[in-house]
Structure formats: structure tokens, C-alpha cells
Amino acid sequence: MGKRKEKISSDIAWSTSDKISVRGLDLPNEILGHMNLGDLAFLQLTGRKATPEESRVFNAIVITLVEHGITPSALAARMTYMGAPESLQAAVAAGLCGLGTVFVGSMEGASKMLYEALPQGKLGTGVDLDALAVETVEKFRARKAIVPGLGHPVHKPVDPRTPRLFQIAAENGKSGEYIALIQKIQAVAEDKSGKMLPINATGAIGAICCEFGFPWKIVRGFGVMARAIGLVGHILEESENPISYEIWQRAEEEILETSDPGAHKAR
């Protein structure tokens, strides 16, 4: 718990009757028409404007996270909207609540793993990345845990987003030891497990976020803000071409088919 403050303060934003300031910039004249949404997010998080190179990489990260199809988070949003169409924000919130260690949140786990293996203070000191990769994988194997950022149920042997993200990072000066380390971790994990474990999009993003130096505890937030955009799109589609009612009815019918004693006798 923090200590009591003499005065409450915030460096993010303030406004008066004729002025709105965000991170020290005038909103109407220095931000509107000058920044895209990703650049504003970068400003909000770091307190400074992104360089053109940082802008390209950061925008690629958040765009990657906007849409993943009819995933559990999209279904949760759609089902909530069906039950409470007057509360769009509740439907979005319901979808966001499902972003955890399995979906989207694994980017946080990947960043934390990489920082623990290679603290920022040891960058550029000639650390043996191969040894770190083996040590990291063995730690996860010892507790029978999944290495975050590796594996995908559909995209094998390569998640098509990953090489493109790494390419964009390399072209814009954001490819360093953290990307190299997760690539080595992937190779070791595949060798030890005998399974195909591609670096997935969240693993790639987790590594790139480390290249930026973003704290691991905020990395999941990039997925939260990006996925909110995607969920609004799903809710709009649900309002025009609903599927939630059909999913609900099919579940009821199929459960009845398999659970009703009479149905078992009939088979």
C-alpha cells in the first residue's frame, strides 16, 4: 500500500475551460490530426511521442491483437450482448475478462519469462543466450508448465504473424537479444519435448515489448486495448447477423440429446 500524499498529482492529462492537455501536448492542436490511435497509446504509456520506427513496430503489435475470430472472448461478448443489448460496454467488458494466460495474456508471461532470464541490466554484456534458453526451458519442464509464447492449436509449423512481426522489428531497430532469446527457447523446447512449438503471435509480441523495455506487468494491457476494438466489431455484427441465439439453442438441443434418459433408450 502506498503512503499518503500531501497533494494528489498525475502527469497524464488535465483540462481547463479552454485547454485540454494530454502528456504535455495540446489535444486539439498537437494530437488531433497528427497522431493515429497507436501513436496516442504509445504517448499515453510512455509520456513521449514515438519515433517513426517505434510507431511502425508498436502499431504492428496492437493491430495484430485486434482480431482473432470467434474466440471465447468474442463469444462471451456476443452472448452478453444478446442478453443485455442495452449495455454494449458490459458486453465488451465480458469479452475482455477472458484475456488471461491462455488467450492474449500469454504475452505478459512471455515478457516476464524473458526479463527473468535476461534482466535489462545484463543486455549487451555477452551473456550466453544458448545457456539461458536451456535453463529457462528446464525450469518450466521441472514444474510441468507450458512455456509462454510457444505453440498454437492451428498455426503449425509457423504462426504466420510471427515472422512478419520479427521482420518489422528488425527493419525498425527493435530486434535484439530478447527476440534472439525467445527463438533459442523455442528451439530448445521443441528439442526437449519432441513437439512442434512455434513462437506464436503473443510470444513474438512479448519479446518485442521487452525490446522496447515495457514493464511486463503492463504488456497484457496492449491486448486489452486492442481487443476492445475487435469486440466492438463483433458486437456490431451480432446486432446485424446474430449467432448467439443459435449457439444457445444448439447447446440446449444437443445437451438434451445426450443427457435425456429417453434419448439414451432411443439409441
Q: Give the pLDDT confidence of 120-149 residue by residue, as tens digits.
A: 999 999 999 999 999 999 999 999 999 999
- Chain position carrying cell 490511435: 37
Mean pLDDT value of segment 19-37? 96
Measured distance CA(199)–CA(32) in Å, rounded: 37
Measured distance CA(35)–CA(28) in Å, rounded: 11
Measured distance CA(158)–CA(197) in Å, rounded: 9
Measured distance CA(27)–CA(14) in Å, rounded: 10
Cite the DSSP H helix spans in 7-121: 37-46, 52-64, 72-83, 88-96, 106-117
pTM above 0.85? Answer: yes
Which residues are 14's β-sheet partners? 21
Measured distance CA(47)–CA(264) in Å, rounded: 64
pLDDT in tens, 203-253: 999 999 999 999 999 999 999 999 999 999 999 999 999 999 999 999 999
Q: Verify cis geometry, omega within 30 degrees of 0, for the bond prior to 157.
A: yes
